Amino acid sequence: MSAPPAIAVSGLRKLYGDFEAVRGIGFEVAQGEIFGLLGPNGAGKTTTVEILEGLRQRTAGEVSVLGYDPEKETAAVKDRIGVALQATNLPEKIRVLEAAELFAAFYTRSVAVEDLLRKLQIWDKRNAFYSTLSGGQKQRLALALALVNDPELVFLDEPTTGLDPQVRLEIHTLISRLKEQKKTVLLTTHYIEEAERLCDRVAIIDEGRIAAMGSPRELQERVLGHARVEVTTLQPMPEHLPESWQGGVGAVFSDGRRKLAASSAKPARIVVELVKWLESHGVEIEDLHIRRPTLEDVFLELTGKSLRD
């Protein structure tokens, strides 16, 4: 018997006046899964998430969060989920420990605040005012507040936006640990690496629709199906490609035949054949690498836009 999904959405639509921000979205998030919503600003990510969190009413569609309808059973949903918002703040002069204890008091269930702050490595900062915290410390506190009610489901909205790479890695580590704790996570992001690194599955959202959905690997393969082998040579390459490449391999020359890009489902074999072929013609290799398509490529391919705007 399989467990019911943590989130089930179908046919979700949201109109703001005449503007249709969400145009029929459907997905499910299994328990214990880290699910990513990837898309540029204005794609409908935040609206979707806010409907799930019980902050907004939907225009149409079915939504179930932990078995509740967030529109009708808002309190039950809010009590059981954890949320780390993107642009948020706390009063300047609230201390870390006070903030955690305050939020703990809002929920039916709460974890031991000290353990939580220790786990998130801000116990040392427990008496510091919020305004004195660094960006990373603030984000760790935001995570702590999202986890203070020991939620089954955590929403993380752009959890690392604006943080420097080192801190971003630390936060990624903390998020990965949530998976070990069997928590379900819904993450929105416009960082490709974040989605690739953290998410079990990703939905790419564009203009209120899901453009593609699957594990990062699946998405990459579904779109291009191939890895790319790129080679640069000192001398121009021969005009005629190896005979064994007929049909299965797409190859494009550039830079006066000093560059070749070949894509194939079996990149390792391509490399071997390529090296043999070039050696047999006495062409020296300057550079060679295999590139897997990234989510960014996928995104570009699917939507015709870049994620970073």
CB atoms within 10 A of CB 285: 13
| Three-class secondary structure assignment of 56-117 | CCCCEEEEEECCECCCCCHHHHHHHEEEECCCCCCCCCCEHHHHHHHHHCCCCCCCCHHHHH
Pick out residues in 50-79 that bind another protein (CB under 8 A). 53, 55, 75, 78-79
For the CB of residue 87, give the shortest distance to another protein in the complex, in Å: 6
Return all residues near 122 (Cβ < 8 A) that are at least 6 apart: 96, 137, 140, 141, 144
Q: Which of 10, 41, 57, 88 binds another protein (CB under 8 A)?
A: 88
Q: Output 4 or 91, the one with its CB closest to another protein.
A: 91
Cα–Cα dist 151/7, whole Å: 14
Residue 93 as a binder of another protein (CB under 8 A): the answer is yes
The answer to whether the CB of 206 falls within 8 A of the CB of 258 is no
Q: Output 10 or 134, the one with its CB closest to another protein.
A: 134
Residue 96 as a binder of another protein (CB under 8 A): the answer is no
Residue 85 as a binder of another protein (CB under 8 A): the answer is yes
Q: Beginning with the edge strand found earlier in the chain, give each strand of the sheet holding 285-291 in spatial order.
A: 250-254, 259-264, 227-233, 285-291
Enter the DSSP assignment of 190. Answer: S
Cα–Cα dist 32/199, whole Å: 11
Cα–Cα dist 17/15, whole Å: 6
Q: How many residues bind another protein (CB under 8 A)?
A: 23
Binding mask 186-225 for another protein (x = CB under 8 A): ----------------------------------------
Binding mask 109-148 for another protein (x = CB under 8 A): ------------------------------------x---
Q: Which of 8, 94, 97, 251 binds another protein (CB under 8 A)?
A: 94
Residue 41 as a binder of another protein (CB under 8 A): the answer is no
Q: Output 147 or 270, the one with its CB closest to another protein.
A: 147
The answer to whether the CB of 257 falls within 8 A of the CB of 237 is yes
Chain residues in the site for another protein (CB under 8 A): 53, 55, 75, 78-79, 83, 85, 87-91, 93-94, 98, 101-103, 105-108, 145
